[in-house]
Structure formats: structure tokens, C-alpha cells
Amino acid sequence: MADPSTTVDASLVEDAATAVPQPISELESLRLLVQQQAAALDTFVKNQQSVNRGKKVGADGLTKKERRALKAGAEKNVEISNAKTNTIDESLNQPKNNVAVNSKSSKGKLQNDSSTPIKSQVKNHTESPPKADTQKSQKTLDAKIKENEKETLSKAEIKAQRRAVQEAQRQAKANQKLVVTPNNNNQATKENIKQNEQNIKLGKKVSPKIDLIKSPIKHRVQLFNHLYVGDFQEQNLKRYTLNKDIHPAFLQLGAQYLSRSILGSNARCLAMLSALKTLTNDFRTPPKQEFCRSLESTLKASITHLNTCRPLAVSMTNALRQFKLLLTQIDTNLSDNEKRSLLQERIDKYIQEEIEKAGEAISNEVNKKISDNDIILIYGYSSLILRILVDAQKAGKKFRVVIVDARPLLEGREMLRRLVCANIECSYLLINAVSFVMSRVTKVLLGAHALLANGYVMSRTGTAQVALVANSFKKPVLVCCETYKFCERVQTDSFVYNEIADPDKVVTVDASEKSSYLLNWRDNNYLTPLNLMYDVTPSDFVTAVVTEIAVLPCTSVPVILRIRPVE
Amino acid sequence: MLEMELFSDVIKLISDIRHSKLHNSYDIAIHTEELVERLISEGKWKSAQDLMSLIKLRIARFISALPQEATPVNIMRHILKIIRDEYDTGFKSKGEGHQSLHHLVTANINDSEDYSKLLPTLKSSLLNNLAEYKVELESSMDNIATQALEHIHANEIILTVGKSNTVEKFLKYAAKSRKFQVIVVEAAPRFHGHLMASNLAKSNIQTTIIPDSAVFAMMSRVNKVIIGTHTVLANGGLRTECGVHMVALAAKRYSIPIMVLAHMYKLSPMHLCSSEQDAFNICASPADVLPYSSGPLLNKVHVYNPAFDYVPPELVTLFISHQGGNAPSYVYRLLSELYHPDDQEL
């Protein structure tokens, strides 16, 4: 067992070392993830086996205490960030002194410093053979390391360190506000970086939060500061890929979400449910624990990992809520195998009822509204809309489809391909030409990411715009959405909850031989490409929402939410 | 053959525009003005009537070749008006400037002028006038830019679409003394917005580039929309780059003012000829929308890449020309000042 884990960890350490000075691109990290998956699968299975044999080594190779320590560390950081900065004046002086002492700190040093804790950790893992009796020794070793850390820092030093961290964070916030004038604060950020280097040197511990500050906050749109994940994501990804608690199916899923190779809320939900099934199947109850409880805690780690890769879709959150509810309701007297099969059965049922049957019902409903010679405008890709149109074609209706597409995702091309394969007559254009065709269109069909409790529709960016133009041309807009995507949340703008995708996608021009003037946008601090994933369509643009239950006005979402059995 | 020689100047202009040697409206305007200037100084004409018919022939020629390109026609149309005015002042026959309503009603139809009398000073006074007009054209962009501070305040978020030299200059002028942010819509598939964004960022303006789809999402936080235009129509509507209509609709939705920077030569006495856009628009190559590499798929689909959008006047808040700001409802009045009523339909 030791072999696969050592190779994985070694490669990770290498990667961590290279990643610190120059953040690796998403693709690279992805490749890394995929590489690890094979190894991770082995370790996971072996860990599970070892669990079955009744040995007490944690599934991830980390001892419980270690994990607890990690958690505590994270909590501590949160505390630090939440604490108010009462003593700004003092803290202003202290880091400066530190800078004076170690003013020659180089980037290379920083790199070493930040990677050493990981290395030492890894050493601990690799040195400890997977026997139950060595667990104790490892525990003591970890404890010793912790003690050492504590000893080297006196209380005053810790205080000073905290203040420095606070100050750094405060300044980082100030920088975020001052993005408009980077010239003035370029120096400030440099100082900031120095300070952070200082902190890291002093503290020896590298927490991801401090690293977040270390990266200069350029190329961010102020309005969306709360949405950028960047370094934090990278750090967390590394932490979680080290964590053998996460089932490889979820690691793979995470990688797919991260690369956005699985897109669309239905597809994402289906993929997650099938991963969930795999997990339920592979999961072995640790000794002296109850199946559902321990599954829930394992699941929690996996879901956190998924959330780090990409924020969960509403459809996924809803499905997960149902699954967790089921875990608490399941009869504890059943055997593990019975529970397992029951859970899998219920997942299948959920897929069948909430997605398949609902899609069928919606398709039937919309098909009643499609008549011959209709010109139907659709936007981007939606599995549900595709199904509706193909069904209508099979029913022998004669209609045309106008596919409106938008960069940078260009999902509409996939839609076009599939509709053409189904022998549906199609036109294709980009979103800026939507006014050009709208006068000739008879209906607009839109998919949705989620329906919010105030009747607004959350969907792929651009949906609101298509609805807006349709509205101005007085064309009916039908939003098709299964009720499992309904959401208690209310939202009136596209700023509070949204996702920011890879900004490089905005500046790459695919269709023609032209190349963009923005390819080296990182060189100019004033330039920020913004790639939003979602927007929110006001309810007054939407004529009706077609659900499997009924055709409703948008404003009836709360009614459905009350009807649906949730908890 | 003879015809080719006669119209060689305008044919050259047409081909230059067609081959994108001249693609911004300012260059086209200057070239047209120079064309007419050459015609006046070197052409074979005796009376004002001769000259006007020469110019009108060129306008006709141009309209038939490039019906979408309004700038050269507008320039020539304005020069016709200059010729008429010079003729009138040369003979002092028709009072000053515009006729009163009373005069118009009581005027004898036979009284109307045919501009056939010879006026020896006409050529020199026209050339003087044209030189003045050229200066006006050349300074128009700067004149518009200097008004920037009247419209942009500190910390604004301004949205613009694609690329316009006038807008770029306007924003850069404002950036000399005020800090503000600009959101540039990239305007796919031509991606002029990318160049615009990189130019603005080079002059240290905080610039965000967004795809066309994110306009509605961003609009609620935008303070002003500032755009250029291809043509201003007689009703105050716009013929603009494709995609501006939805931007204007989104701005209207959030009650955000839309300012259109327009040189006087963009004002055109033409109306939207039909609500069906076929007569109004032209479609560019679909290869930019769906690349040829899509293969057999291309046989089965219609791909559209329209070049223009019609923006109705009720979505426009303000026109800014070198003379100052005007509401869209005032455009008809500007038109009557720019062009002689007899030249509006050509």
C-alpha cells in the first residue's frame, strides 16, 4: 500500500514547489488531477480493504489527530480574519521591523519555506508503514511537531504575527477597493507581499488564506470581488487531492466540473448522482460506526471538494438534500447491504422521477404549444429543450429552429449538431444578431439553471438578454424547467451569486484567422476580461414556466416550493 | 469607356471602401470632401447647375454601388447646399438664409431658381468654403472629445460597444482628469471591442472586456452607455454595429442614458425603409460565426452574420456632435440646416 501513495505524494510535492512562484494553469492542475486518479483509486480501494480488515489507519493516510489539527488550523485562520483590528498602529510598526531584519527575502526562499511543511507532512506519511501499531508513534510524532511549533513562537510573537496578518488582510481589502488606481498601490501591494513573506517566514505554517493575500489583486472586476476563487481554489484542491477520504469518482467528477467538460445543470446533477451511487456501492462502514452516519461524513468531504472545483448547481444541492434526508430516515435495523441497495434504488428513482419523467411531461406540455410553421428561437444548449424539439420533430410537426449562441462557451454549436442530426431545419447566429431575427420568430424556448423563489430565472449568461429582446418584440417566452431545480433563494441581480469562469476564454478568438489584441492582457494592469457564467432573468420577461406539474407564471414558484415535499 | 473616365474618382472611392482601405468614417469623409474639391477646381463646369448635376451623378453612382454607406453621400449632399448658398449670396436675389413661411406660401412656382446663371466668383468662393468645411471635419472629433467632461463624472462605470475612434478619443480625454471605469462589449464576431479595450487600457483607463452575452447582467451597475454609430437616421434612430439594439434595450430597462457620439456627416435624411430589415441590413460572411471547419454541417444550416442593427429613437437619450448635445427629436431640424430640402431625396 505504501508504494502508490508515496509516488502520488512525491509528484504532488514537486508540483507544489513549482506552483508557488508561478501559479499553474487550470489545465495543468487538471492533468495532474487525472494522473492522480488512477493512483487514488488504488489507495482508496486498499484503504477500504484495510478498513474491512479492522485496522485503524485512516482512509486518507492521515491520522485522526492530524486531520483534527488541520481543521483547527483552518478555524483559527477564520478567527483571525474575523477578529477586529483594534491595534492598527502597533501592528503597523511591527511588520516593518521584521522587514528591516529580513529585507533580502527572495522569492526562492519563499518557495522553499512554503513547500517544506508539505514535504515534512508527506515524509510522515511515507515513513509510517500502514500497520495499526505504528499509528500511535505517528500520532506522537505529529504532536511533537506541533509542540515544536508552539515552542518556537512565544506568545508575544504569536500576537505580533496575528496583528501582521490582520494588517495584511486589511491592506489587501484596501487594495481591492483601489483597483481603479493601481499605479498608486503597486508599491503597496509589493510591500504587502513582503509582509506576507515575512509572516510566512515567521509563522512557518502556511495557510491558504495568507496565500490568497499574497497574490496581487489585479485583473479583478471590483463588483465581483466576492466571486473570485483563484488561489484559494488551487490550495484547496491540493489539500483535497491529498485527502484519500474522497472517492476517486468524485475526484474525477471534480476535474470534469473544473474543466467544464460537464456542463448544464441536468448533466451535472446526473453525473453527481452516478458518482454518489458508485460511492454508496464502494463504501465500507468503518468499525463501530453506523453506515449512514459515516457515509454522510465521507460524502461531506467529497461534496466540499466538488464545491471547490466549481460551486454546486441548484439542481445538485436539491438532489443532495434529498439524499441526506434519506440517509437520516433510513431504517437503522437493516444490514449494510440492504441499506446500500435501498439507497441506490432511491437514487435511480430520483433520476427517473425528477429528471426523466419530468422531462417527458414537460416535453408533452410544450409540444401542445408547438404548431406547424412555427419558428422557435432557442439559446445555447439545454438537454431539456433538445428533447422537446426532437420529440416535436418525431410527432411530425413542421417547424424551424433558430439557435442563438454566445461566446465564449458556444454551446449552441453542440445543439446545432444534434438538431441537424435529428433532421430539424436550423438557423444559427450569435447573440448580437438576435434583434435581426426576432421579428420573424414565433416562440422563444429557454432552459434554466434554477428558478428562484421570487420568480426570477437563473440561467446561462445571455438568457436574460434573449428574453429581453423577445419581450420587446412581443414574442412569447417559455422557460422549461423541472421542479427539482426550483430554489428557495431570492435574487434580483446577477452579482451576488454567480460564477466567474476562465477569463482567458474571453480573449481567445476561435472562428476566424484573426487573433485578439488582448492575448497578453496580463501585462496590462488596467485590463480585465470578465467571463460570467450566469445571469438572472426578471420574471416579467417570461410568459410562462413549463414544469412537469403545470404551466405556470414565474411568480408561482413559491407555490411549487411549498407543494414539493422538502424535509 | 467615357463613363469610366468621368466617374473615375467616385469609382476609386467605392473600391477603396469595398476593399476596406478606408474603413473608418472619418477617412471616408475626408476623402469624399477632397474628391469634391478636386471636382470643383479641375472639373469641367460653367454654371452652378452644371456642378450640381456632376455631384448628383456621383451621388447616384455611389448609392447604387454602396447603399449602406451614408457618409460620402451626406458630405456631397452638404456640399450641394453650400453651392446653393454661395450662388444665392452671389446674386443676393433670395434674401438671407431660410425663407419665412409666409414667403414660402406666397412664392410663385416659376420663381424657383435653376442655378443656371454664370457667376464668375463662384469657384473661388466655393473653394474657400470647402476649405473651411474641411477644417470643420478635421476638428469635429476633437470638438466632441472636449465635451467629455460635461458628461462623465468621477467613478462612473461606462459601457461601450465595439470600437469607435470618436468614443475612444472621448473617453481618453475624460480620463486625463477623471477616474472612471469602462466596460467594453466585445462585439463578436468582429471583435472590435478587443482592440478598443486594449487601446483604452494602454491609456490607463480601468477596462473590463465582456462577451456580448453578459450585457444584461452588467447593465444594472452601469452609469452611462456611450456609443458611436454608423448613421443617424432622419427620425433620430440609429443604424449601428450589430448588437447595439439589445444593449439599448437593456439600458432602457434600467433607465440608463445612452449617448451617441455622432459627427454631423453621419446625419442622414433617410428613414428606416421597412420594419423587415432586409433592405436596411447587409450580411457579412458567415465564416466568422460558424467556421468552415464545421464541415458537412454547413450544408444544412442557415448562418447569419448581419452587420447592422436598427436602434429606434426612443431608446436613444442624447446625440453629441461637435456643436453640442441634442435630443433625438431634434435631428430633423439639424437635417434641414445641413441639407437643402430639394436635395434630401436623391
Sort B105 into a burial class: Cβ within 10 Å, 0-12 / 13-18 / 19+: exposed
Q: Of A345, A270, A248, A330, nearest to A296 (Cα)?
A: A330
Q: Please report whether residue B176 resides in a domain.
A: yes
Residue A144: pLDDT over 70: no
> Contact at 8 Å (CB) between B149 and B177?
yes
pLDDT at B54: 86
Shared-domain flag, residues A180 and A38: yes
Mark which residues 461-480 of A lie under 8 Å from B by CB: 461-462, 464-465, 468-469, 472
Is A431 within 8 Å of B300 when comparing Cβ atoms? Answer: no
pLDDT at A394: 93
β-pair partners for B240: B309
Q: Please report whether residue B194 resides in a domain.
A: yes
Q: Of A531, A523, A481, A478, nearest to A504 (Cα)?
A: A531
Shared-domain flag, residues A221 and A287: no
Query: Alpha-carbon distance B164 to B160, whole Å?
Result: 9
pLDDT at A16: 37
Q: Which of A134-148, A553-567, B22-36, B83-97 has the highest mean pLDDT?
A: B22-36
Shared-domain flag, residues B170 and B136: no
Give buried/exposed letters for B73-86 (b at 16+ CB in 10 A, else e): bbbbbbbbbbbbbb
Query: Alpha-carbon distance B262 to A158, whole Å?
Result: 63
Query: Alpha-carbon distance B17 to B15, whole Å?
Result: 5
Q: Give the pLDDT band of residue A9 (cuts 50, 70, 90).
A: very low
Q: Residue A152: give the domain boundaries.
A: 2-243
DSSP A354: I
Taking only the tens place, the pLDDT of each residue in A435-450 is 999 999 999 999 999 9
Residue B290: pLDDT over 90: no
> Nearest CA of chain A to the CA of B76: how many Å?
31
> Contact at 8 Å (CB) between A484 and A557?
no
> Contact at 8 Å (CB) between B264 and B320?
no
C-alpha atoms less than 13 angstroms from C-alpha of B294 in its C-beta half-sphere: 24
Is A416 within 8 Å of B297 when comparing Cβ atoms? Answer: yes
What SS3 state is found at A545?
strand
Of B31-40, B212-221, B267-276, the poorest mean pLDDT is in: B267-276
Q: Could you tell me which residue, B15 or A363, shows the higher pLDDT?
A: A363
Q: What letter represents residue B270's amino acid?
A: M
Instruction: Show which of A344, A369, A394 is a domain's final residue.
Output: A369
Of A41-55, A237-251, B118-132, the poorest mean pLDDT is in: A41-55
Query: Alpha-carbon distance A102 to B105, whole Å?
Result: 92
Taking only the tens place, the pLDDT of each residue in B168-193 is 999 999 999 999 999 999 888 888 88
Is B290 within 8 Å of A435 when comparing Cβ atoms? Answer: no
Nearest chain A residue to B290 by CA: give it. A511
Residue B151: pLDDT over 60: yes
Residue A503: pLDDT over 80: yes
Query: Alpha-carbon distance A326 to A567, whole Å?
Result: 10
Per the omega criterion (within 30 degrees of 0), is the bond before A21 cis?
A: no
Shared-domain flag, residues B125 and B206: no
Is B213 within 8 Å of A529 when comparing Cβ atoms? Answer: no
Cell of A66: 492530524
pLDDT at A99: 39
Is A527 within 8 Å of B197 when comparing Cβ atoms? Answer: yes
Q: Which residues contact B192 (CB under 8 A, 6 or more apart)?
A: B162, B163, B186, B241
CATH of the domain at B59: 1.20.120.420
Determine the average pLDDT of the residues in A260-279.
Answer: 88
Residue A470: pLDDT over 80: yes
Residue A272: pLDDT over 70: yes
> Which of B216, B244, B252 has the most A C-beta neighbours within 10 Å, making it the best mutation to test the interface with A?
B216
Taking only the tens place, the pLDDT of each residue in B132-141 is 999 999 999 9
Q: Give the pLDDT band of residue A94 (cuts 50, 70, 90).
A: very low
Beta carbons within 10 angstroms of residue A304's beta carbon: 15
Q: Which position has the grid cell 436675389? A: B93
Q: Looking at the 3D structure of chain B, how many domains does it have? A: 2
Q: Give the pLDDT band of residue A217 (cuts 50, 70, 90).
A: low
Share of chain B above pLDDT 90, in %: 36
Query: Alpha-carbon distance A331 to B187, whole Å?
Result: 58
* β-bridge pairing B318-321 and B258-261: parallel
Query: Alpha-carbon distance A313 to A533, whole Å?
Result: 12
What SS3 state is found at A221?
coil
CATH of the domain at A268: 1.20.120
Query: Alpha-carbon distance A281 to A344, whole Å?
Result: 8
Of A132-141, A356-365, B19-28, the poorest mean pLDDT is in: A132-141
Q: What are the chain B neighbours of A183 within 8 Å (beta carbons)?
A: 204
Q: Give the pLDDT band of residue B46 (cuts 50, 70, 90).
A: confident
DSSP A515: -
Determine the average pLDDT of the residues in A301-315.
Answer: 86
pLDDT at B22: 80
Q: Give the pLDDT band of residue A47 (cuts 50, 70, 90).
A: low
Shared-domain flag, residues A272 and A155: no
Q: Which residues contact A83 (CB under 8 A, 6 or more apart)?
A: A162, A166
Taking only the tens place, the pLDDT of each residue in A528-547 is 889 999 999 999 999 999 99
Nearest chain B residue to A423 by CA: give it. B300
> Nearest CA of chain A to the CA of B204: how many Å?
6
Q: Please report whether residue A503 resides in a domain.
A: no
Shared-domain flag, residues A234 and A107: yes
> Contact at 8 Å (CB) between A492 and B217?
no
Taking only the tens place, the pLDDT of each residue in B296-315 is 888 889 999 998 889 999 99
Q: Please report whether residue B110 resides in a domain.
A: no
Q: Could you tell me which residue, A7 or A73, shows the higher pLDDT?
A: A73
Shared-domain flag, residues B135 and B216: no
Average pLDDT, chain A: 71
pLDDT at B273: 61
Determine the average pLDDT of the residues in A83-101.
Answer: 41
| Residue A416 touches partner B, C-beta closer than 8 Å | yes
Shared-domain flag, residues A55 and A182: yes
Shared-domain flag, residues A288 and A150: no
Q: Give the pLDDT band of residue A326 (cuts 50, 70, 90).
A: confident
> Nearest CA of chain B to the CA of A351: how many Å?
31
Q: Please report whether residue A527 resides in a domain.
A: no
Shared-domain flag, residues A165 and A275: no
| Residue A408 touches partner B, C-beta closer than 8 Å | yes
pLDDT at A157: 58
Per the rule left: phi > 0, alpha: psi between -120 and 50, beta: everything else, A378 is beta
Q: Could you tell me which residue, B250 or A507, shows the higher pLDDT?
A: B250
Q: Give the pLDDT band of residue A390 (cuts 50, 70, 90).
A: very high
Average pLDDT, chain B: 85
Considering CB atoms only, which of B191, B208, B213 is closest to A516? B191
For residues A412, A414, A416 and A418, what is the CA-based torsion angle, rounded to 10 degrees?
A: -150
Of A12-21, A25-34, A509-518, the poorest mean pLDDT is in: A12-21
Q: Residue B40: give the domain boundaries.
A: 2-97+115-142
Q: Looking at the 3D structure of chain A, how many domains does it have? A: 3
Residue A324's Cα: distance from chain center in Å?
20
Beta carbons within 10 angstroms of residue B290's beta carbon: 24
Is A180 within 8 Å of B290 when comparing Cβ atoms? Answer: no
Q: What is the 3-state secondary structure (H, E, C) of chain B?
A: CHHHHHCHHHHHHHHHHHCCCCCCHHHHHHHHHHHHHHHHHHCCCCCHHHHHHHHHHHHHHHHHHCCCCCHHHHHHHHHHHHHHHHHHHHHCCCCCCCCCHHHHHHCCHHHCCCCCCCCCCHHHHHHHHHHHHHHHHHHHHHHHHCCHHHHCCCCCEEEEECCCHHHHHHHHHHHCCCCCEEEEECCCCCCHHHHHHHHHHHCCCEEEEECHHHHHHHHCCCCEEEEECCEECCCCCEEEECCHHHHHHHHHHCCCCEEEECCHHHECCCCCCCCCHHHCCCECCHHHCCCHHHCCHHHHEEECCECEEEECHHHCCEEEECCEEECHHHHHHHHHHHCCHHHCCC
Share of chain B above pLDDT 70, in %: 90
> Helices (DSSP H) in A353-462: which residue ranges?
358-369, 383-394, 412-421, 434-438
Determine the average pLDDT of the residues in A44-49.
Answer: 53
> Contact at 8 Å (CB) between A243 and A301?
yes
Q: Could you tell me which residue, B177 or A245, shows the higher pLDDT?
A: B177
Cell of B274: 421597412
Residue A174: pLDDT over 70: no
Q: What letter represents residue B240's amino acid?
A: T
Q: Give the pLDDT band of residue B330 (cuts 50, 70, 90).
A: very high
Q: Please report whether residue B346 resides in a domain.
A: no
Share of chain A above pLDDT 90, in %: 23
> Contact at 8 Å (CB) between B191 and B167?
no
pLDDT at A522: 83
Determine the average pLDDT of the residues in A395-402.
Answer: 93
Query: Alpha-carbon distance A17 to A238, whole Å?
Result: 12
| Residue A427 touches partner B, C-beta closer than 8 Å | yes
Shared-domain flag, residues A81 and A27: yes
Shared-domain flag, residues A9 and A76: yes
pLDDT at B344: 75
Determine the average pLDDT of the residues in A439-468.
Answer: 93
C-alpha atoms less than 13 angstroms from C-alpha of A211 in its C-beta half-sphere: 24
Determine the average pLDDT of the residues in A11-38.
Answer: 45
What SS3 state is found at A491?
coil
Residue A147: pLDDT over 70: no
Q: What letter represents residue B165's amino acid?
A: N
Instruction: Show which of A304, A336, A369 is a domain's final residue.
Output: A369
Query: Alpha-carbon distance A318 to A420, whole Å?
Result: 33
CATH of the domain at B273: 3.40.50.10470
Q: Could you tell me which residue, B225 or B340, shows the higher pLDDT?
A: B225
Shared-domain flag, residues B308 and B239: yes
Q: Please report whether residue A23 resides in a domain.
A: yes
* β-bridge pairing A477-480 and B224-228: unpaired
Query: Alpha-carbon distance A287 to A437, whole Å?
Result: 65
Query: Alpha-carbon distance A451 to A257, whole Å?
Result: 21
Q: Give the pLDDT band of residue A177 (cuts 50, 70, 90).
A: very low
Q: Give the pLDDT band of residue B210 (cuts 50, 70, 90).
A: very high
Determine the average pLDDT of the residues in A204-215.
Answer: 40
Cell of A156: 508575544
Rounded to 5 degrees, φ, ψ at B241 are -60, 145
Nearest 5°: the CA angle A129, A70, A228 is 125
Beta carbons within 10 angstroms of residue A544's beta carbon: 18
Shared-domain flag, residues B134 and B282: no
